[in-house]
């Protein structure tokens, strides 16, 4: 039994079912908020923003203050760990992230783990600052990218590629890929441990590029490195609930939920409620999965679909969220509509 005073989102991750599900949204902090744009204009660049705890804490809190979300997602980025591991990372307007590519796993092993942790210390500082300012009813979600999703950026150098270079490593360089994933799992476990120690209430693993993989490949590069990451976290003493988000997992979702050790799964936009309900154990918590394009479009259809998703998961622990991140040009009033629809039933 969860202790009294435990926030709704954490109780849901522990298996409680609520008529009105707790809510937060991926990328709830960021460019759709004028207060974010104002804060962002004061930072030298995006990395600097992420590494400045006063700013990152403020950005984390902005959507919570505005919307009264049940969850605050730490303001950081999945690529910070590559920067800390010694790969150059830049964010360029209109292009997105640019990462100095690796030639092999050795390039991920040049900075000792303790130094990686030290370089990411500002993120833990953000966690403790947010935690001290957050109402106890709101949960703070720490996060990292999954080993595969982060590795893609290290291999491809950019996000907007077909990912075939990275995916080919499965067949052409299996040992190098295995070693690189192992290094990512270990570094990520230390990073998430630090967030847990700094006061996060739950942790989330973003596997944004889990889509389009053959089933045997999915097991090798999604399930196995995530299972390793989760078991390392447990070995290191982390007891927090862990949400896994294997975007595009499709029919592999149940195996992912069963074999990685995560406490809950984040569902993406393409998840089919009947399939999810038929394939996951009845008490397995899920999070998701409103289409971000519908959130941006708004109107009656937004209210109707919000209600439909709530109804679809009525019988199981469910955290309401999007199927992917809030789009930059999303009207604030649409986010408000969803939140009030969930509060009023
Ligand atoms: O509200 C939140 O979710 C805040 C924290 C957060 C950011 N990135 C801030 C951010 C989180 C959880 C992420 C995760 C992230 N970053 C993912 C996984 C989730 C997903 O979207 O699939 C990925 C793949 C990245 C990598 C990344 N970071 C890309 C591809 C980009 C460029 C595209 C874009 O949206 O600009 C970023 C930059 C980024 N990360 C921004 C923010 C707010 C925009 C930077 C800016 O202000 O200019």
Catalytic residue status for 153? yes
pLDDT of residue 49: 97
CA distance 273 to 286: 10
Q: 239 to each of 121, 228, 231, 278, how far by Cα in Å?
A: 21, 15, 11, 28
Q: Which atom of ligand 1 is nearest to the CA of 40?
A: 47
Ligand 1 pocket check for 155: Cβ under 6 Å = no
User: What pLDDT digit, counting tens, does each position of 278-296 carry?
Assistant: 999 999 999 999 999 999 9
Are the C-beta atoms of 218 and 248 separated by less than 8 Å?
no
CA distance 89 to 87: 6
The active-site residue out of 70, 77, 83, 207 is: 77
pLDDT of residue 4: 58
Residue nearest to atom 25 of ligand 1 (CA): 78
Catalytic residue status for 20? no
Q: 341 to each of 48, 65, 309, how far by Cα in Å?
A: 37, 18, 12
Q: Does pLDDT of 85 surpass 90? A: yes
Fold held by 8-344: TIM Barrel (3.20.20)
Residue nearest to atom 40 of ligand 1 (CA): 77
Ligand 1 pocket check for 53: Cβ under 6 Å = no
pLDDT of residue 123: 98
The distance in angstroms from the start CA to the end CA of the chain is 26
161 C-alpha to ligand 1 centroid (Å): 16
pLDDT of residue 1: 45
The domain limits of the chain are 8-344
* Chain center to CA of 65: 20
Catalytic residue status for 66? no
User: What pLDDT digit, counting tens, does each position of 149-208 carry?
Assistant: 999 999 999 988 899 999 999 999 999 999 999 999 999 999 999 999 999 999 999 999
pLDDT of residue 160: 84
Report pTM.
Answer: 0.97
Average pLDDT over residues 95-109: 96
Ligand 1 pocket check for 33: Cβ under 6 Å = no
Are the C-beta atoms of 45 and 55 separated by less than 8 Å?
no
Catalytic residue status for 27? yes
Are the C-beta atoms of 148 and 19 separated by less than 8 Å?
no
Ligand 1 pocket check for 18: Cβ under 6 Å = no
Ligand 1 pocket check for 82: Cβ under 6 Å = no
Q: Does pLDDT of 61 surpass 80? A: yes
Q: How crowded is residue 191: how many other Cβ atoms within 10 Å of its Cβ?
A: 25
Ligand 1 pocket check for 325: Cβ under 6 Å = yes
Catalytic residue status for 31? yes
Q: Which atom of ligand 1 is nearest to the CA of 30?
A: 43
78 C-alpha to ligand 1 centroid (Å): 7
Q: Does pLDDT of 132 surpass 90? A: yes
Ligand 1 pocket check for 77: Cβ under 6 Å = yes
Ligand 1 pocket check for 158: Cβ under 6 Å = no
Average pLDDT over residues 299-309: 98
* Chain center to CA of 146: 9
**Average pLDDT taken over every residue of the chain:** 96
Of the chain, the percentage scoring pLDDT greater than 70 comes to 99
User: What pLDDT digit, counting tens, does each position of 253-278 carry?
Assistant: 999 999 999 999 999 999 999 999 99
Choose the residue to mutate in 27, 36, 37, 292 for probing ligand 1, maximizing ligand atoms within 8 Å of C-beta: 27
User: What pLDDT digit, counting tens, does each position of 17-33 carry?
Assistant: 999 999 999 999 999 99
Of 292, 295, 285, nearest to 323 by C-alpha is 292
Per the structure block, which two tokens stand in for 335? 């986010």
Per the structure block, which two tokens stand in for 17? 């079912």
């Amino acid at each position: 039994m969860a202790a009294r005073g435990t926030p709704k989102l954490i109780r849901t991750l522990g298996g409680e079912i609520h008529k009105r599900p707790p809510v937060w949204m991926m990328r709830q902090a960021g460019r759709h908020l004028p207060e974010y744009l104002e804060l962002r204009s004061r930072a030298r660049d995006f990395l600097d923003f992420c590494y400045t705890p006063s700013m990152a804490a403020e950005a984390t809190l902005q959507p919570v203050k505005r919307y009264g979300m049940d969850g605050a997602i730490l303001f950081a980025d999945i690529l910070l760990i590559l920067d800390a591991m010694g790969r150059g990372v830049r964010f360029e307007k209109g292009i997105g992230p640019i990462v100095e590519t690796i030639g092999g796993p050795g390039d991920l092993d040049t900075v000792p783990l303790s130094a990686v942790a030290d370089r990411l210390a500002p993120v833990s500082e953000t966690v403790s600052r947010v935690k001290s300012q957050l109402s106890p009813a709101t949960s703070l979600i720490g996060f990292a990218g999954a080993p595969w999703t982060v590795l893609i950026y290290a291999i491809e150098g950019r996000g907007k590629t077909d990912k075939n270079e990275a995916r080919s490593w499965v067949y052409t360089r299996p040992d190098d890929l295995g070693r690189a994933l192992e290094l990512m799992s270990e570094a990520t476990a230390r990073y998430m441990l630090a967030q847990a120690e700094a006061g996060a209430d739950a942790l989330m693993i973003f596997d944004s590029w889990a889509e389009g993989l053959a089933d045997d490949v999915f097991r090798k590069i999604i399930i196995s490195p995530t299972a390793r990451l989760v078991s390392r976290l447990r070995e290191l003493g982390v007891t927090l609930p862990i949400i896994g988000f294997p975007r595009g997992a499709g029919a592999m979702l149940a195996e992912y939920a069963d074999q990685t050790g995560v406490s809950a799964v984040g569902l993406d936009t393409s998840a089919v409620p009947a399939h999810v309900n038929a394939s996951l154990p009845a008490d397995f918590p899920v999070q998701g999965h409103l289409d971000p394009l519908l959130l941006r479009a708004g109107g009656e259809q937004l209210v109707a679909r919000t209600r439909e998703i709530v109804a679809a998961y009525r019988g199981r622990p469910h955290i309401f969220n999007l199927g992917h991140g809030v789009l930059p040009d999303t009207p604030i009033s649409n986010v408000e509509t969803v939140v009030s629809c969930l509060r009023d039933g």
